[in-house]
């Protein structure tokens, strides 16, 4: 669209403002400063007037409550109008120094976050598959099929999944029993418990314990230091292309992977069998050791509707010439995914990653409905959001819950900044 038809043109650098009419420019250059200002004022009044309803609504319904939370985090507040007392940073100090349960709840979040990052892949693969469909008609049909589940209310979906996990009449146990996998799980249960109780298991679990921290965690720490050292080197603009750096990264990754595998083999499983599979009715949501695997399995095959649509939008922006060039270079299907499609939808991946992280860290409704306010047997389903809810609505410590919310906010903000920094779109 030309400027002649719109009547609006972009101001030159150092001009009076980002948008102005040609007439206004003309008057301003002739020294009619007052009239020019008046013209600008009129324009901006109209623009701000049009924006005002949205801004006011945003301030009233989004920012005001958020600032309310900041304010109340500095008070001891029992949720009533009268019960408000100024305590300064006492709530924060308590959270950092005297509330180990809150920080323990992050363990589950970290596990879920790692699992959710893995669970992003089916959506990416589904989007790529859809994008590569040659028939536009089928592409359309599949897109519609992906959107249809969005109309199912979340609570209904939750109840369906809950019944799926039911110990007595759930589809999961029925499938496992019918397929014979239940017997395999039973054998796994006994053999893993035996491994965990064996000398090897004890050595891995209790070996190299320094200040109560197991050697496995030191392995993870060392691995992380090695992996991130390369990231920092890159951050400071130093050359990291040598083979030595590749070896450092690989060693770090192997250390982490080995710690995870050893941990899964010997630390996660208790030293005595769960005996949940013996009668073919494991209580997936009723046993403390099965809760986390069940929550991770939740939503299988993890093809999220919104995720697929977002990735698809990104994929559709990739121009045909990129594919043509790849084809001429003889790039195969898998390489096309990792060399072209994935790098070019990193913006969408980052958005989903941010949403996913926010959702994982702040979500509590799911756990509340599923396991109750104390996180189920052994408190295994206690996440920070649920802990915050418990502090507010069970203990009536609303001020303290606001402080916990602020801490969560800062953690989320930090992670988002990290994503912005490191998950870059390199086109």
Partner 1 sequence: MSEPTSSDPRDESSSRINGNVVGIIFLIVAFSVSLVISVKNTLSVERPTKPVLRIAHWQLEAGYRDALQAVIDDYKKLHPELDVVQMPVTEALYKQWINTQLISGTAPDICEMGQSELLSKDEGTVRYFMPLSGEISKINPYNKGTDLEKTPWKETLLDGMRGGFRDGLQDYYGISTTYTSMRLFYNKELLKNAVEFYNSTGPSPKAIDGPPHTFGQWMTQCQALKAYAAAKDPAVLPVVSCYGVFGIQAKFEPAFTAALANDCDLDLDGITTDLEGYIAYKRGWIDLQTPQIKAVYETTRQVGDQMQQGFSGMDRQTAQFRFVNGQAGFLWTGSWDAKGTDVQAKSKGFEIGIFPVPDPGSGEPNSQYIVGNAGETIAGAGSYGIAKSSKHIDQALDFLRFISSRAENEKFNAIAEWPPLTIGAKPSELMKPFTPDLRGLNSRLSLSFGTRVTQTANAQLLNYYQGDDTFESFAKSFRDVINDPDRGGDWAWWFLFDQRQSDERNAERILAQAQTLELLDPGSGDQARYRRALLQEVSKNNGQDYLYQFKNYRGFNMPMH
Binding site for partner 1 (CB under 8 A): 76, 78-83, 94, 97-101, 162-163, 165-169, 274, 276, 279, 281-290, 372-379, 390, 394-396
- Residue (39 or 391) nearer to partner 1, CB: 391
- Residue (290 or 315) nearer to partner 1, CB: 290
User: Of 340, 397, 394, nearest to 364 (Cα)?
Assistant: 394
- Residue (99 or 221) nearer to partner 1, CB: 99
94, 73 contact by CB (below 8 A):
no
CA distance 229 to 235: 10
80, 67 contact by CB (below 8 A):
no
CA distance 75 to 398: 9
As a residue count, the chain comes to 427
Report the nearest approach of partner 1 to the CB of residue 327 (Å).
Answer: 31
384, 105 contact by CB (below 8 A):
yes
User: Of 370, 378, 405, nearest to 389 (Cα)?
Assistant: 405
- Residue (233 or 268) nearer to partner 1, CB: 268
Report the nearest approach of partner 1 to the CB of residue 43 (Å).
Answer: 31
Report the nearest approach of partner 1 to the CB of residue 206 (Å).
Answer: 18
Report the nearest approach of partner 1 to the CB of residue 320 (Å).
Answer: 23
Q: State CA 165 to chain mean position distance.
A: 24
| DSSP bridge pairs for 85 | 76
Cα torsion angle, 58, 64, 65, 70, sign: positive
CA distance 235 to 102: 33
What tokens does 91 get? Answer: 């709530």
Report the nearest approach of partner 1 to the CB of residue 91 (Å).
Answer: 11
What tokens does 37 get? Answer: 């200002």
- Residue (223 or 384) nearer to partner 1, CB: 384
- Residue (286 or 359) nearer to partner 1, CB: 286
| DSSP bridge pairs for 20 | 9
Report the nearest approach of partner 1 to the CB of residue 379 (Å).
Answer: 4
- Residue (283 or 356) nearer to partner 1, CB: 283
Report the nearest approach of partner 1 to the CB of residue 316 (Å).
Answer: 21
């Amino acid at each position: 669209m030309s400027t002649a038809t719109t009547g609006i043109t972009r101001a030159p650098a150092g001009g009076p403002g980002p948008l102005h009419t040609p007439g206004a420019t003309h008057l301003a250059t002739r020294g009619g400063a007052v009239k020019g200002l008046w013209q600008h004022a009129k324009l901006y009044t109209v623009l701000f007037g049009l924006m005002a309803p949205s801004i006011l609504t945003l301030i009233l319904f989004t920012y005001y409550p958020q600032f309310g939370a900041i304010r109340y985090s500095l008070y001891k507040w029992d949720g009533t109008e009268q019960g408000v007392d100024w305590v300064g940073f006492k709530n924060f100090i308590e959270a950092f120094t005297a509330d180990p349960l809150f920080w323990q709840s992050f363990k589950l979040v970290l596990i879920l976050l790692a699992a959710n990052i893995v669970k992003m892949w089916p959506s990416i693969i589904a989007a790529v598959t859809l994008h590569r469909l040659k028939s536009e008609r089928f592409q359309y049909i599949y897109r519609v099929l992906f959107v249809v589940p969005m109309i199912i209310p979340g609570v209904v979906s939750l109840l369906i999944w809950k019944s799926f996990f039911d110990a007595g009449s759930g589809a999961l146990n029925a499938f496992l029993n019918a397929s014979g996998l239940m017997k395999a799980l039973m054998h796994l249960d006994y053999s893993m418990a035996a491994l965990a109780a064996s000398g090897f298991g004890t050595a891995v679990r209790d070996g190299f314990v320094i200040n109560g921290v197991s050697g496995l965690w030191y392995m993870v720490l060392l691995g992380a230091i090695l992996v991130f050292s390369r990231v920092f080197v890159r951050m400071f603009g130093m050359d990291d292309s040598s083979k030595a750096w590749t070896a450092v990264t690989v060693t770090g990754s192997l250390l982490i992977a080995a710690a995870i595998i050893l941990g899964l083999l010997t630390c996660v499983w208790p030293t005595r069998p769960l005996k949940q599979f013996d009668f073919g009715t494991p209580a997936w949501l009723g046993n403390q050791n099965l809760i986390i695997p069940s929550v991770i399995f939740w939503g299988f095959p993890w093809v999220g509707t919104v995720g697929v649509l977002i990735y698809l939008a990104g994929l559709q922006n990739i121009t045909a010439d990129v594919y043509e060039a790849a084809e001429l270079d003889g790039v195969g299907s898998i390489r096309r995914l990792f060399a072209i499609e994935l790098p070019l939808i990193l913006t969408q991946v980052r958005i989903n990653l941010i949403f996913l992280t926010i959702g994982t860290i702040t979500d509590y409704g799911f756990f509340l409905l599923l396991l109750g306010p104390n996180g189920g047997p052994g408190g295994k389903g206690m996440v920070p959001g649920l802990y915050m809810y418990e502090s507010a609505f069970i203990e009536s410590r609303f001020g303290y819950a606001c402080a916990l919310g602020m801490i969560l906010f800062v953690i989320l903000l930090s992670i988002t900044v990290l994503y912005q920094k490191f998950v870059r779109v390199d086109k």
